[in-house]
Structure 1
Amino acid sequence: MLVKLILQGITMITVEKSDPFSSESCRLIELLSAELAAITGDNGKSNFTVDAMSDDKALWALAKNSQGNAIGCGAIRPLTQNIAELKRMFSDRSVPGVGCALLKFLEKSAKEMGYTELRLETRHINYRAVNFYKKNGYIRIANYGPYIGRTEAVCFSKALR
């Protein structure tokens, strides 16, 4: 599957399944980790490894601009048979709409893979992420898995219809 966001007749963003070990992916993961560390004090690497993307029901995606440069990334990985977790969502914000394009691609892919729900965790202090997910239909849920009891964490869910 390939998603293209077209603005004023020009393809601005292309999102597709990619190799999480590629140099482009690694560069974006490092940019995300640095940004998370600056915002929250934690780079987010403790709850995600690229090796987790080897699962058959996991997916790594890159968003690219019209020149073919990687400008965003995101992933889904299985939590249960029917629930996937959204991980490592990042946009370098060089083109408007990268986050929405990635999220649309990952939600559609998750549904096609048989998932009925997506969950995610971010930090309360990461206002941009919290507002983005709320704006895109995610609802607050009780913290799950490794986030239980972590007061700095906030978890969200969205049913895939």
Structure 2
Amino acid sequence: MTNRNIKIQQSAPHSAESQLLVEKLSAELAFITGDNGKSHFNAQELNNECCLWVLARNEAGNAVGCGALRSLGNNTAEVKRMYSDRSVPGVGAALLEYLETRAKSMGYREIRLSTRVINSRAVAFYYRSGYAQIQNYEPYIGRNESICFAKTL
């Protein structure tokens, strides 16, 4: 169940709030996995109508989470740079629900994502959210540290 006090809104990936959250995510990923995750995401990729960057805000209006959708082609979107600072329960679920709803309204039929196997919290979250493990897709093919998921919309 998502927290209805969380507001999700489209934003600019280069805004100060967005960059702060991305840096927090990168630091957390580096701590958990040894890699900050920046090599597989470029905010410039979000500069078209088939992509989306969003922020989650708490009741006070502070940015507490972020996430992106980008096109993989063939009616498939990919979730990127999803992060919650965990200051408010339900931010991750609210972000994912919003991204899924928007992806469907944008004509996507499937969502994919990748995380690291060692990131057990994220892996469990995606399983709980109805995602199924799939074979790794580019650029994660042959990367045993990665686990890929998909969900039909």
Q: Normalized against structure 2, the TM-score is what?
A: 0.97
Could you give the per-residue CA deviations for residues 75-107 of structure 1, whole angstroms, max 9, x where no partner exists?
000001400000001000000000000000000
- Between Structure 1 and Structure 2, which shows a larger proportion of strand residues? 1
Code of the aligned partner of 2:137: Y
1:16 is displaced (CA, Å) by 1.1
Gapped regions of structure 1 (runs ≥ 5): 7-11
Aligned to 1:149, the other structure's residue is in SS state coil
What residue number does 2:110 align with? Answer: 117
1:56 is displaced (CA, Å) by 1.5
1:25 is displaced (CA, Å) by 0.2
Aligned to 1:103, the other structure's residue is in SS state helix
What residue number does 2:130 align with? Answer: 137
What residue number does 2:29 align with? Answer: 36
For 1:28 and 1:126, the matched residues in 2 are separated by 18
Aligned to 2:35, the other structure's residue is in SS state coil
Q: Normalized against structure 1, the TM-score is what?
A: 0.92
What residue number does 1:18 align with? Answer: 11
CA contact (8 A) 1:39 1:126 kept: yes
CA contact (8 A) 2:3 2:89 kept: no
Provide runs of 4+ in structure 1 moved above 2 Å. Answer: none
1:67 equivalent to 2:60? Answer yes
For 2:28 and 2:45, the matched residues in 1 are separated by 22
What residue number does 1:101 align with? Answer: 94
Aligned-pair identity in percent equals: 59
For 1:55 and 1:126, the matched residues in 2 are separated by 30
Code of the aligned partner of 1:110: A
For 1:35 and 1:81, the matched residues in 2 are separated by 32
RMSD across aligned C-alpha pairs, in angstroms? 1.0
